[in-house]
Amino acid sequence: MLPIFGTIDGTTLVLNLRGLSQDTIFFVVYNPNMRRVDSGDASASLITALATRTVPWATNHWQALYNSREATLRTVIAGILGVPVASLTNVAMDTCIRERVANNAAEAGAIYQTAGFRQPNLEVVADATRTGTADAVYIIYVNDRNDNSAPQGSPSEAISLLGLGYGLLYVNSNDVNDTPAEPLGSILDCVAHEMFHSIQFGYDLGYSDTSKGYHEGTATTYGSTIDKESTHAPQVRLDDAPHKLSSFLGYERTAYVYQDFYAFVGRAYNSDSLDYLADVFEQMKTDVDALVGTGETKARLAPPRETLRRSLNTAFMSKFSQDLPTIYLDYVRQRAMEHSADSQLRTGEPAFLTLNPNLFHADALQRISADPTGILSTSLEGTFNNVAPFSSRAIVITPSRAVADITAELTITSTVGPWAQP
């Protein structure tokens, strides 16, 4: 069953069927326990910022939709309020959902709009019952489907690739009680993370194995940064393991850990801000649109990895006057060895010059013992095969005996041909 949006014109309900098949079966379902609560406006500081850098959005008003009789949600809210489930009132539930979901959405939305991002790829719902303000709203559905989602899709599609209805953000009822102290962050982290996915979809960038690292890595650090109300630097979500530098940029199975790279870039190159990502996704849209224009229509759903890396490189050159290889090498060097303040993303990470072997898979780290007196005439052959673009390997050379006042220069060459281009 999918939500269908429409308007009531007198006694007529006008629906946008969004490409549903002609044999679709319709039922009128009325649940008197469904409630919607409005968000307030974003904080005054964000409203002031919007006045100086406004990207037109249809609205930044949000409504949280929920079932007041849903058992999971009632238990969660009763726990928050410290009252028996049986004594919960609709007014108390409305207040809790407004403060924790709808108002948080307005705060996150104002931050994204201030940063220069496009509006979310969500249904803009007209609600004539909202008096004294513009009637356009976005909707967040709080439910017990045990998942948080921002369905990919377009206004011409009724069903997203995830099997959900186009146009809503989905928030898990159990997450309403989450706090910033938890590894996954609070409900604000959840709302901001999923909202950022809907913003990404506004750039027509498909969610696939090729792009998942970009989608999840950026959304994870942005959600955590907003959640922690960071005034110093982008943050990372602690539930996810550190990025193994031996995994190449964008690898789909480790999608969330790429938050480390985007957080570092924001810290080291963009004055402790993640707003540079607006330029990154704008460039990705430009490049994917151009590729689709040549007849590569599949690039919309699964953009080639090479295209996305070129987009990242172009955006970095425009924003920072440095290319992707230079910035990525700095990231690897700082995270693995030098440990600048900008690269220390988690408590307990090294703060002095030393190799952090925990950032490499076992087969990506070689330890070699060499005689210092013969090192200049020694050729050591390693076994690093199939090294993917923007992945790293580490070699630790230890002298077999102590020799004073000796220096050596290490030259790395490939025995199978020239180095591959990024």
> Residue 233: helix, strand or coil by DSSP?
coil
* 56 contacts: CB under 8 Å, gap ≥ 6: 119
Identify the CA nearest to 332 among candidates 385, 381, 389: 389
What is the DSSP secondary structure assignment for residue 334, as one 8-state letter?
Answer: I
Alpha-carbon gap, residue 258 to 281, rounded angstroms: 16
CA 41 – CA 48 distance, rounded (Å):
12
Q: Looking at residue 382, what is its pLDDT?
A: 63
pLDDT over 90, % of the chain: 49
SS3 139: strand
pLDDT-derived band of residue 419, with 50, 70 and 90 as boundaries?
low
Residue from 231, 226, 200, 229 nearest 117 by CA: 200
Q: Domain residues of the chain, as ranges?
A: 29-202
Amino acid at 398: T
At 57, which amino acid appears? W
Q: What is the CA radius of gyration of the chain?
A: 25
Selected residue with higher pLDDT from 205 and 421 = 205
Amino acid at position 395, single letter: I
* Helical spans, DSSP H, in 229-275: 259-269
Answer left, alpha or beta for residue 386, where phi above 0 means left and psi between -120 and 50 means alpha. Answer: left
Report the pLDDT value the prediction gives residue 374, as an integer from 0 to 100.
65
Quick count: other Cβ atoms within 10 Å of Cβ 334?
18
Which pLDDT does position 411 carry in this prediction?
Answer: 73
Q: Give the distance from CA 85 to its chain's centroid.
A: 35
Reduce the DSSP state of residue 360 to 3 states and report it. coil
Strands 62-67 and 34-38: antiparallel
**Which tokens belong to 221?**
């650090």
Cα 107 from chain centroid (whole Å):
17
Is pLDDT above 60 for 172?
yes
Is residue 276's pLDDT more than 90?
A: yes
For residue 422, pLDDT over 50 is answered with: no
Give the mean model confidence (pLDDT) for residues 75-91: 96
Across the chain, what does the average pLDDT equal? Answer: 84
Contacts of 293 (CB under 8 A, 6+ apart): none
3-state secondary structure of 344: coil
More confident call, 256 vs 130 = 256
Please report which helix (H) or strand (E) contains residue 107, including its range: helix 103-115
**180-189: pLDDT as tens digits:** 888 788 999 9
Which has the closest alpha carbon to 324: 357, 361, 283, 286? 283
User: Cα–Cα distance between 249 and 300 in angstroms, integer?
Assistant: 20
* pLDDT category of residue 247 using cuts at 50, 70 and 90: confident
Nearest to 72 by CA among 172, 181, 190, 192: 172
